[in-house]
Amino acid sequence: MKIYLEWEAAKKLSLSISTIQRMCETGRLKGCHKIDDTWQIPQDNFITNEAHDIKAKRFVRYLDRKNSLNDNIDEFNL
């Protein structure tokens, strides 16, 4: 099972590190352990896993490339 460091969890959830730390302290994220002043968070706390995250990043890069080839079309200005 993958363990996320607090900064990785913050990036994954688009939250601040201090918010992740509070969530660990209050038990909102389950199974967290603090080692050398850094929280470690089990993957079980997240809906997606690393494979999902990689696939999502690839898809976003694909959309960015496609958009750049089409003069950066703005869906609000068709």
Q: Which ranges of 1-78 does DSSP label H, i.e. alpha helix?
A: 6-13, 17-25, 50-69
- State pTM to two decimals: 0.70
The two tokens of residue 12 are 């994954």
What value does the mean pLDDT take over residues 61-71?
Answer: 81
Rounded Cα distance between 22 and 27, Å, is 8
**Residues belonging to the chain:** 78
pLDDT digits (tens, 9 = 90+) for 34-63: 999 999 999 999 998 888 989 999 998 988
Strand, coil or helix: what is 35? strand
